[in-house]
Amino acid sequence: MRLEPRLSNFLDGGRWLFAFVVLIGHETPLFNRFSGMMITPQSATNYIWWFVSHFQFAHFAVIGFFVISGFLVGGNALTAILQEKSFLKSYLINRVTRIYVVLIPALLVTFTFDTLGRALFRKSFYENKLFDGHFGLNLIPPNLLNLQEIYSPFYGTSAPLWSLACEFWSYIVFPLLLLPLHRGLSWRAKAAAFTAGVALFAALCAPQTLFAFYFLIWVMGAVARVATRPLIGNYKLALAILIVSVVVTRLTVRGPALEAVPQLQQFVDVLNAFLFANVIVALRFDRSPFQEGRAAEINRKLADFSYSLYAVHNPVVFLGAGAIRGFAGEEWMPHDCPGSLQILSFACLTGLAVAFAYGFSRLTEARTEDARRALRALVDRVTATHGQRMADKMAVRETVS
């Protein structure tokens, strides 16, 4: 299903912006503790940095990723099922290649950079409690199976890949649960698919509720693809309400509020996911003229390597920050507020992470279609060979009888 140009541009912009916000959120604590924000006067740059780099914005970016993924991937699957189209083979090939063409090289990058960083800069950020027990090679197989933070810790400094596990298994569970709606299948096939979906969902939720929650967010995005009308039809008003909600969340859902009501975070996550999904639905139905210009082209190009940026930024920034701290000394990062040198170093490392992700994407993410063609050809060969063997067996049986 072809997307409206304005909606496509909005989703492209969201994809790269969310990846960049996550990068800033993960990189900032390595350069700025913000411990002096309320004690000593700060520059305007520091106040802006403090505001936009907060955990809540990075967290909303992940929520936004799930809504967009649900809309683009789950929405396509849902539409195909409702229209009784044959889609499962192509769907699975597309999803597997989309994930693994980046995941496998990303884990290799993590291994290489983390090994180098830990060898050269032992007294560095790698000693943080967050990474205790995360550098064992025994973690790579479960991470390759996308079980990180479900049945296994994430490997190395690749902490952001926890969300990839929830996303990948949402790809699998969602169509299995919905195949009973497909009128072109036999009742046995429907029962088998639904049973497998329920069993898989239960297995993924057994260790904790992480998968269940993010599966819900992902499904909200899928439903946005087939929703018959938005709750708020004016997309500009819908977007303004979303922005206000996210900013209010940034300022209020923290510290004492979360300690008093731990469930508050999940409540605002669902609310913001719903508001974001409503913006997408409003854009689906918007018919006002839209001229694709330079901005749309830039958004598309940046979105093309947003997955790569999300997947590899952590090992890059940890190695870079470790090198800076290793050469500049333990006290290089001030306790009150950063100076111009710290801000410049932060900006340079940010640019380096983006540049590395772009180069990485040219070798991985940009080759997704090639990987899909190769896997499709392999599946076709295996299927043809299996079919020929079955035909030969049937012919032998008929000859004997």
DSSP 72: I
pLDDT in tens, 91-150: 999 999 999 999 999 999 999 999 999 998 876 788 888 889 999 999 999 999 999 999
Read off the pLDDT band of 397 (50, 70, 90): low
Quote the pLDDT of residue 399.
Answer: 54
43: pLDDT strictly greater than 80: no
Q: What is the pLDDT of residue 253?
A: 86
Residue 329 region by backbone torsions, left for phi larger than 0, else alpha for psi between -120 and 50, else beta: left
Q: Kind and range of the H or E element at 293?
A: none
Which residues, at least 6 apart from 127, have a Cβ–Cβ distance to it below 8 Å?
none
Bridge partners, 148 (sequence order): 152
Q: What is the pLDDT of residue 292?
A: 82
Measured in Å, how far apart are the chain's first and last C-alpha atoms? 51
* pLDDT value of position 106: 97
Q: How many Å apart are CA 88 and CA 193, to the nearest integer?
A: 11
CB 4 within 8 A of CB 283: yes
Give residue 147's Cα distance to chain centre: 14
Lookup: tokens for 305: 């390597």
- Say if CB 178 and CB 85 are below 8 A apart: no
Q: How far apart are CA 318 and CA 23, in angstroms?
A: 11
**What is 202-226 written as a DSSP string?**
HHHHSS-SHHHHHHHHHHHHHHHTT
- pLDDT over 70 (residue 401): no
Neighbour count for residue 92 (Cβ, 10 Å)? 15
Distance CA 96, CA 105 (A): 14
Asked if residues 102 and 200 have their Cβ atoms less than 8 Å apart, the reply is no
Q: Is the pLDDT of residue 389 over 80?
A: no
Would you state the pLDDT for residue 390? 60
Alpha-helical regions (H) of 285-367: 294-303, 306-328, 340-363
Q: Which residue has the higher pLDDT, 326 or 71?
A: 71
* Whole-model pTM over 0.85: yes
pLDDT attached to residue 121: 85
Higher-confidence residue: 394 or 37? Answer: 37
67 has pLDDT over 70? yes
Q: How far apart are CA 355 and CA 82, in angstroms?
A: 42
Instruction: Show Cβ contacts of residue 156 under 8 Å, excluding neighbours closer than 6 positions.
Output: 110, 111, 114, 131, 134, 135, 139, 315
Mean pLDDT of 356-368: 97
Q: What is the mean pLDDT of the chain?
A: 90
The whole-number average pLDDT for the span 223-239 is: 94
Phi-psi region of 252 (alpha: psi -120 to 50; beta: other; left: phi over 0): alpha
- What residues contact 3, with CB distance under 8 A and at least 6 apart? 11
Q: Which two tokens stand for residue 131?
A: 């990474």
Neighbour count for residue 291 (Cβ, 10 Å): 7
pLDDT at 183: 87
Place of tokens 């206000």: 244
pLDDT over 70 percentage in the chain: 92
Give me the amino acid identity at 156: G
Alpha helix ranges (H) inside 210-287: 210-224, 235-252, 256-260, 264-284
Residue with tokens 């492209």: 12
Beta bridge partners of 207: none
Res 394: pLDDT: 56
30 or 170, greater pLDDT: 170
Residue boundaries of the structural domains of the chain: 5-363, 367-401
Mean pLDDT is lowest, of 46-55, 180-189, 191-200, for 46-55
Helix (H, G, I), strand (E, B) or coil at 148: strand
Check residues 209 and 115 and name the one with the higher pLDDT.
Answer: 115
Question: What is the token pair recorded at 184?
Answer: 């072109």
Mean pLDDT, residues 173-182: 94
Q: Is the pLDDT assigned to residue 55 strictly greater than 60?
A: yes
More confident residue, 103 or 257: 103
Please compute the mean of the pLDDT values over residues 251-276 and round it to a whole number. Answer: 89
Whole-number pLDDT of residue 122: 72
CA distance 322 to 339: 18
